[in-house]
Amino acid sequence: MGNFGQLMDGFVVALTMHHVMIMVIGVLLGLVVGVLPGLGAPNGVSLLLPLTFTMDPIAAIILLTSMYWGALFGGSTTSILFNIPGEPSSVATTFDGHPMAKQGEAVRALTLAFGSAGFGAMVGVVVITLLSGWVANFALQFGSPEYFAVYFMAFASFIGMAGGSPFKTLVCIMLGLAVGTVGMDTISGEGRLTFGITQLTNGISFLIVVIGLFGIGELLLTIDEGYKFDGVKAKLSLRVILRTLAELPRYWVTLLRSALIGCWMGITPGGPTAASFMSYALGKRFSRRGKYFGKGEPEGIVAPETADHSAGSCALLPMLALGVPGSATAAVMMGGLMIWGLSPGPMLFTTRPDFVWGLIASMYLGNVIAVVLVLATVPIFAWILRAPFTVVGPLIAIVCLIGAYTVSNHVFDIWVALGFGLVGYVFKKLEYPLAPFVLAVVLGDKAEDAFRQSMLSSGGSLSVFFEGSLVATMMGIGILLLSLPLITALFGALFRRGREEGQTHSS
């Protein structure tokens, strides 16, 4: 049990007064970000990132991950009380959470959500504890072709499993990669795709992209959708909270199934949003009480919340062990690691064990703190949300613009962020997926380096990606994932034809 010993060392790192304070601050900031529509976890973390450049990396990552937990929890508060998801990943929570709150059981709904979310997060962290060392060891034998295959698999799984138009996903990934290549080429030193604009020589920071796409884009979407609160008042009572927590184990089947879905979707880059929807859909189909889903059914809250949070925490596993983030927020954090001078991936486990295990230990504690704080602050946030959006909106806009400026102190970046804001708004409305876009911006350089180095070693032949069983397997899985939409379309066509024939026969 080497992992266990290292985890204990990690607790020694994480359990200092300083770090616990940072966790509390991070969770509180995260709650604010999660509660306010227009500010989400990826955007919140990128706004905070420039402020951590001077901090110690361990304290900085604890701050950012705690903020992530806070944002994941905060999103559910608004979903249940106001029927407005504070985060995309808590959309599925509104389906049953808000009806339940309207029936006068707001506190029970909130407690169910936070309790199952806490359970999901814990499962996720345990999975990270058990698997990360093993995955990292496995990844130590990777060469550049293997790395390219991993990136290829990540992008292919977005195209294959996203559910929307595969071509739109392709466009998003490639646009993200293109944004990543703008600026000085790391190998030749030539400026690329700058079109003579000197401000582009340093490249476009992924932080600017995230602030634009998720922050400003989300803000415009909120304006467009009309922002009306139809709030439910919640009066916290400790008795109801405790009784509801005691009720939770009764849903153990749903809890376990949802946690599994969440872990899977988090490790493969499906992300928390996809996980919560999938878990809700599966819960509806397989639960005995499935037909009550949508009318305020407890399991309808438990399923998406558990999956959301286990996916959210599991998304950090591939980021740490492979250097391939499992969600947009994890992608931003990985960018942060690189800025702090750490290189995410298997080597991190040997070079900075204190960092890795300190972080993992902090996840246990951070989630406990988050559950307590989110319950305690429900009345405050319910009050804040009664402020009109004509006041809150401009404040969020200012936070985003200042955030864009602080990345590298250029006004030019604010314009770029505004541009990406418009892109984010239009893309979101037309169902272009944004998470793969961000992932591609962060991974762009690494994917290209891996590709070029593999091509160099093979002398320009693509066969390097299919020699050796490991690479070939990964590329094979990637190609299979890529062709998944095609396969399902073919099956769908066959099925539909069969059904139509059946209909003509019966009529």
Partner 1 sequence: MEISRKTMEVATAVLTGSVGALICYGSTENGIGWGPGGPEPGYFPFGIGCLILLGSLATLAQTFWKYAGARPEAAHGVSGAVPEEPFINGTRLRLLVAFVLPIVAMTAISAWLGLYIGMGLYIFYTMRVSAGFRTLTSLATALLVIAVNFVVFEKLFMVPLLKGPILEYFGIY
Nearer to partner 1, 73 or 147 (CB): 147
Residue 451 CB, shortest distance to partner 1, in Å, is 6
Q: Which amino acid is at 52?
A: T
Distance CA 117, CA 115 (A): 5
DSSP secondary structure code for residue 250 in this structure: G
Q: How far apart are CA 379 and CA 369, in angstroms?
A: 17
Which segment (86-94, 181-189, 290-298, 343-351) binds partner 1 by CB under 8 A?
A: 181-189
Distance of alpha carbon 456 from alpha carbon 145, whole angstroms: 11
Question: Looking at 38, 50, 266, 269, which residue binds partner 1 (CB under 8 A)?
Answer: 50
Among 27, 154, 175, 316, binds partner 1 (CB under 8 A): 175
Minimum distance of partner 1 from residue 70's CB (angstroms): 18
Mention every residue, 6+ apart, whose C-beta is less than 8 A from residue 260. Answer: none
Regarding 386 and contact with partner 1 (CB under 8 A), the answer is: no
Q: Which is nearer to partner 1, 179 or 317 (CB)?
A: 179
Residues 209-268 that bind partner 1 (CB under 8 A): 219-220, 223-224, 226
Q: How far is the CB of 386 from partner 1 (least distance, A)?
A: 14
What are the angstrom distances between the C-alpha of 210 and each of 381, 413, 438? 25, 12, 7
Per-residue interface string for the shown chain with partner 1, residues 422-441, x marking contact by CB under 8 A:
----xx-xx-x---------
When asked if residue 37 is in the footprint of partner 1 (CB under 8 A), the reply is no
- Nearer to partner 1 among residue 250 and residue 496 (C-beta): 496
Q: Which of 415, 470, 472, 480 binds partner 1 (CB under 8 A)?
A: 415
Distance of closest approach, residue 269 Cβ to partner 1, in angstroms = 19
Query: What DSSP designation does 51 have?
Result: G
Of 21 and 456, the one with the shorter C-beta distance to partner 1 is 456
Distance CA 480, CA 185 (A): 32
The footprint of partner 1 on residues 320-379 (CB under 8 A) is none
Quote the least distance from Cβ 435 to partner 1, whole Å.
Answer: 17
Please work out the total of residues on this chain that contact partner 1, with binding judged by CB under 8 A: 53
Interacting positions 53-112 with partner 1 (CB under 8 A):
54
Among 405, 420, 437, 465, binds partner 1 (CB under 8 A): 405
Is 167 a binding residue for partner 1 by CB under 8 A? The answer is yes
Residues 244/116, Cβ–Cβ less than 8 Å = no
Which residue in the set 170, 241, 253, 480 belongs to the binding site for partner 1 (CB under 8 A)?
Answer: 170
In 250-326, which ranges are continuous DSSP H helix? Answer: 252-267, 271-286, 298-314, 316-322
Phi then psi dihedrals of residue 184, to 5 deg:
-70, 130
**Burial (0-12, 13-18, 19+ Cβ within 10 Å), 178:** middle
Q: Which is nearer to partner 1, 3 or 181 (CB)?
A: 181
Q: Which of 130, 140, 398, 489 binds partner 1 (CB under 8 A)?
A: 398
Asked if residue 171 binds partner 1 (CB under 8 A), the reply is: yes
Lookup result for tokens 């976890």: 41
Q: Contact between 187 and partner 1 (CB under 8 A)?
A: yes
State whether residue 287 is helix, strand or coil: coil
Using CB under 8 A as the binding rule, whether residue 455 contacts partner 1 is answered as yes
Only segment of 70-78, 176-184, 235-243, 463-471 that touches partner 1 (CB under 8 A): 176-184
Other CB atoms within 10 Å distance of the CB of residue 295:
12
Binding segment for partner 1 among 27-35, 303-311, 453-461, 481-489 (CB under 8 A)? 453-461
Three-class secondary structure assignment of 358-387: HHHHHHHHHHHHHHHHHHHCHHHHHHHCCC
User: Among 17, 198, 238, 409, which residue sits at the site for partner 1 (rule: CB under 8 A)?
Assistant: 409
41, 71 contact by CB (below 8 A): yes
Nearest to residue 266, comparing CAs of 323, 310, 329?
310
Residue 460 as a binder of partner 1 (CB under 8 A): the answer is yes
Binds partner 1 (CB under 8 A): choice among 17, 190, 198, 506: 190
**What are the backbone dihedrals phi and psi of residue 482, each rounded to the nearest 5 degrees, phi first?**
-60, -40
Q: Which one of residues 138, 143, 192, 477 is an interface residue with partner 1 (CB under 8 A)? A: 192
* 355-373 b/e (C-beta count within 10 Å ≥ 16 → b): bbbbbbbbbbbbbebbbeb
CA angle 414, 416, 417 (to 5 degrees): 65
Q: Is position 479 an interface residue for partner 1 (rule: CB under 8 A)?
A: no
- Beta carbons within 8 Å of 452's beta carbon, 6+ residues apart: 187
Strands (E), 10-117: none
DSSP secondary structure, 11-41, as one string: HHHHTSHHHHHHHHHHHHHHHHHHHSTT--H
391 binds partner 1 (CB under 8 A): yes
486 binds partner 1 (CB under 8 A): no
Rounded to a whole number of angstroms, the minimum distance from the CB of residue 336 to partner 1 is: 15
Taking CB under 8 A as the binding criterion, the range among 228-236, 291-299, 364-372, 402-410 that sits at the site for partner 1 is 402-410
Q: Report, in this order, helix, strand and coil percent for the chain, each rounded to 5.
A: 80, 0, 20
Asked whether position 462 contacts partner 1 by CB under 8 A, the answer is no
Nearer to partner 1, 257 or 446 (CB): 446
Relative to beta strand 191-192, strand 183-184 is antiparallel
Query: Using CB under 8 A as the criterion, which residues of the chain lie in contact with partner 1 when the complex forms?
Result: 50-51, 54, 165, 167-168, 170-171, 174-175, 177-178, 181, 185, 187-188, 190, 192-193, 195, 219-220, 223-224, 226, 388, 390-391, 393-395, 397-398, 401-402, 405-406, 409, 411, 414-415, 418, 426-427, 429-430, 432, 448, 451-452, 455-456, 460
